[in-house]
Amino acid sequence: MTTHSLFKLGILWGAIVVGLIDASEPRKEADFNFGWRFSLSEQSGLERPDLDDSSWRSIRLPHDWSVEAAFDRERGDGATGYLPGGIGWYRKHFVIPTEEESKLHLVYFDGVYNNAEVWINGEKLGFHPYGYTPFWYDLTPYLRKDGSENILALRVDRSRFVDSRWYPGSGIYRNVKLLTLDRLHVPVWGTYVTTPAVTRTSATVVIEIKVKNDYAQPSQVQVSTGLIDPSGRRVSHQSSSLTLPGDKEGLCIQRFSVPLPQLWDLDHPGLYQAVTTISTDAGVNDVATTPFGIRSIRFDANEGFFLNDVNLKIKGVCLHHDGGLVGAAVPAGVWRRRLAELKEAGCNAIRLSHNPASEEFLNLCDEMGFLVQNEFFDEWDNPKDKRLNKWETKIDYITRGYGEHFQEWAERDLKATMLRDRNHPSVFQWSIGNEIEWTYPAYAKATGFFDMDWKGNYFWSTPPNPPEVIRKLVREGESTAKYSMAKTAAKLAAWTREMDQTRPVILNSILPSASYESGVADVLDILGFSYRRVMYDYGHRYYPTKVIMGTENLPQWHEWKAIMERPFISGTFLWTGIDYMGEARGGWPKKGTDSGLLDLAGFRKPAYHMLKSLWNDAPHVYLATQLLEKSPYRVDEIDGAVVERKPGAWEHALWVWPKTNEHWNYEPKAETVVEVLSNCESVELTLNGRSLGTKHLKDFADHIFKWALPYEAGTLVAKGVKQGKTVSTQLETSGVPARVELTADRNELNADGYEVVHVVAQLVDAEGNPARVENRLIRFTVDGDVRILGVDNGAIDSVQDYQANQVTTDQGRCLLLIQANRKASIVRVMAQVEGLSSLPLSIESK
């Protein structure tokens, strides 16, 4: 069953357990994703209800029209992944049941990218420019209540196809719901749960409940809330009375004591439910269920981060919102697979880069035990150059983004995000912005980093100007600028604290030395450092009471080493957890950014294994090879050790790892380097049963075991030992591909229209060894009531169509993604490669 379905059933089930309502639902949250029509058209006036749309495409949501297109370097741009934009129209026909005509009907959009205009029956409801924030409209006054058809229409304008620094997608790419409510009800986002006192033995839970009376007459309201623990047991209950005048809203605050709470933490993310019933003497009017977690968070300027009073390091990654071949319309099952992979690596936190994520994504983080930094904006007062990532160098229509709307919409978008998200226990930080300093000229100039006479390297140098000089130059520059970053930061921080004071306010700072001196840091609880690990000691020395942490860092050992050596650094968010589309900047056919631990298809990369060895206590061994001449190493002529060509280069390694191979196939006697990424104390390497020596981790400053040897076909085995436990891995020389091996991450799925199956096709030789050095075109055929969402090989430079049933492999493998429809069937998957055999794969959809 999907997260979608479980949550909806949980609302009703929880209320029934408490004994507050019978099995009928006073509140309905209908799935509004099915039965839409779509047209990619520049034509105006398509919102008219008399328009014949029978020729439009029938689609279901979530939907991203850009990812359906071919990659195109002429009609697209590297900043947004070489996929086109355009203007799209959506229409949905629906009827309100006669028995519900007296109720309120609200349509809720979790995200539409972007510049969305919405109409119902030809009446305009509004305009929503930001593509990442939720919004809703009351349809009630405009609905046809005689049993005839209503028409909901949206115009989505993404004609500015380079309006972002990464791939944003196009269209109604998140879920849509139709809410049917009594006129006496808890409004959208009308509950707010906090846990002001938490110990292992008891917890205090406070719930603020808004109640809205849309009847003309006053009402005496009973507000009853029951708390359900993660095991389904009722643990507390409160009732309150509230008198509401007609057409007014009131607030009820209830306080609960929970003995022996099941605390939400990373390993046991238990979720409670607060089931609130709104009733009068005439009966039940509304039931609203609020999932929440009981947990405490605390940051200390000297000791770092504490969850439930336990000190731990934040092992985080940054994630953009695209899911590879599905673009921005990412099914929950795709995120679940990707998050599970990151969890296995030891990752415990996600930074949303650089915008709010979907409600579905946060639900998964609540359930799976991830901390989340919820980030609001990438642009403030001044726009960024989408192609160059810094200040805007010229005005270009197609690159104009949210900065055009920030002055008018920032407060509404920030508060809407917080109202939706502040009950999620996973959310532990509110980030008001990302690398904003670039857009204020005074900041870059004041630091001295970019002065024409400066000879240092920004990444590895502390500020050339002392604090007092930076302070003077920033304030002089801001005094004549149209906008002040410090004033805008103060405004955003104040809005954030107005909505929630239980979580710290943070900003990801690319020039922290300027933010300290301008007053920006003064309005923050935490200053996040972006690629500035060399400034950790600087920040702690000059500003010892201000909490700092890494919020955008390189996926390298030297970054984690710097954090482990400093208790006052809470942790990091690495750039990135997963490769993402966009930010390619003219590198065709490279369509994205390959700094992830996982690639675009969700396959593991070498950096994944490095971080897994750093972030876990359990022993781990990963084996990779490369020709010596193509590696960053050489063999020392004196002692035969494998050493860096440039000594100490590992300490300045950036985003992307040197190319290595997960195979053992070279020309006879070719000079090779074998690398082992491991947290074991020692590793022994053997080739065809012969030991090539045991080496020790303490002897490798770069945390990589290395051997140099002439290639010889056969079996290469790395065996590691850690605290008496032995683990091993091996690479086998493969022959020519003989067949295609299909594997799936599940063998059954619910026929609910949402669940997905990831099918991996791997070329193998006659012995069943992965054949990773040859690539072939694979054509998939799928029988059964499912749909193919797309194919991918994970390569950042593959510009093959995603929306297809065929793809050429990379490293001999590729991914097919299948999604259930809503009829039960037996699904049969076949892979066809010229000259090779393949057994079919069966999946039951039920």
**3-state class (DSSP) for residue 105:** strand
367: amino acid identity, one letter: E
CA distance 795 to 740: 19
Q: How far is CA 278 from the centre of its chain?
A: 35
How many CB atoms lie under 10 A from the CB of residue 259? 9
Q: Which has the closest alpha carbon to 332: 747, 10, 753?
A: 753
The token duo for 37 is: 């029509």
> Of 359, 392, 552, 559, which is the active-site residue?
552
Amino acid at 50: D
List 47, 117, 435, 583, catalytic entry: 435
- Strand residue runs (E) in 111-233: 116-120, 123-128, 135-138, 150-158, 176-181, 184-185, 191-198, 202-213, 219-228
Q: Is 644 one of the annotated active-site residues of the chain?
A: no
Listed in sequence order, the residues at least 6 apart from 532 whose beta carbon sits closer than 8 Å to its beta carbon are: 509, 510, 512
Q: 177 and 32 in contact (C-beta within 8 Å)?
A: yes
Backbone angles phi and psi of 762, in degrees to 5: -125, 130
Mention every residue, 6+ apart, whose C-beta is less than 8 A from residue 679. 613, 614, 616, 617, 619, 620, 697, 722
For residue 95, the SS3 value is coil
Residue 811's contacts (CB-CB under 8 Å, 6 or more residues apart) are 662, 663, 772, 775, 793
What token pair was written down for 526? 């935490």
Burial group, residue 830, by CB count within 10 angstroms (0-12, 13-18, 19+): middle
Residue 552 falls in the annotated catalytic set: yes
Q: What is the DSSP letter of 725?
A: E
Mutual orientation of helices 406-421 and 359-368 as an angle, nearest 10°?
40
The DSSP symbol for 70 reads: P
Give the catalytic positions in this structure.
Answer: 435, 552
